[in-house]
Amino acid sequence: MKAIFNGSLLAESDDIVYVDGNPYFPREAMQIQYFRDSRHTSVCGWKGKARYWDLIVDDQIITNVAWSYETPKPDAEAIRYRFAFYSGKGVDVS
């Protein structure tokens, strides 16, 4: 599976875990040169606290485009150190 934004490869892996319909990539698949930490966080009742990243490609910045659960609750352990992309923010995941 690949995640692409305007021709730039953001992530690629065959090791994908699906949760709530979202494909989660392993952290080592993240092309870190395109990401910066976001201050945004959220909480899911069964997954735990999520952290977010902004996407920076050329002169475009897309805020909070990807998220992960660094210390998920036990039922979400399968996505520890994995990340997913929001649909509708221009990232093509296929």
- What is the pLDDT at residue 33? 98
Architecture category of domain 2-88 in CATH:
Beta Complex (2.170)
Give percent above pLDDT 70 in the chain: 100
- What is the pLDDT at residue 4? 98
Tens digit of each residue's pLDDT (9 = 90 or more) over 66-83? 999 999 999 999 999 999
**3-state SS, one letter per residue, for the chain:** CEEEECCEEEEECCCCEEECCEEEEEHHHECHHHEEEEEEEEEECCCEEEEEEEEEECCEEEEEEEEEECCCCHHHHHHECEEEECCCCCCEEC
Domain boundaries, the chain: 2-88
| Residue 41 pLDDT class (50, 70, 90 cuts) | very high
| Residue 55 pLDDT class (50, 70, 90 cuts) | very high
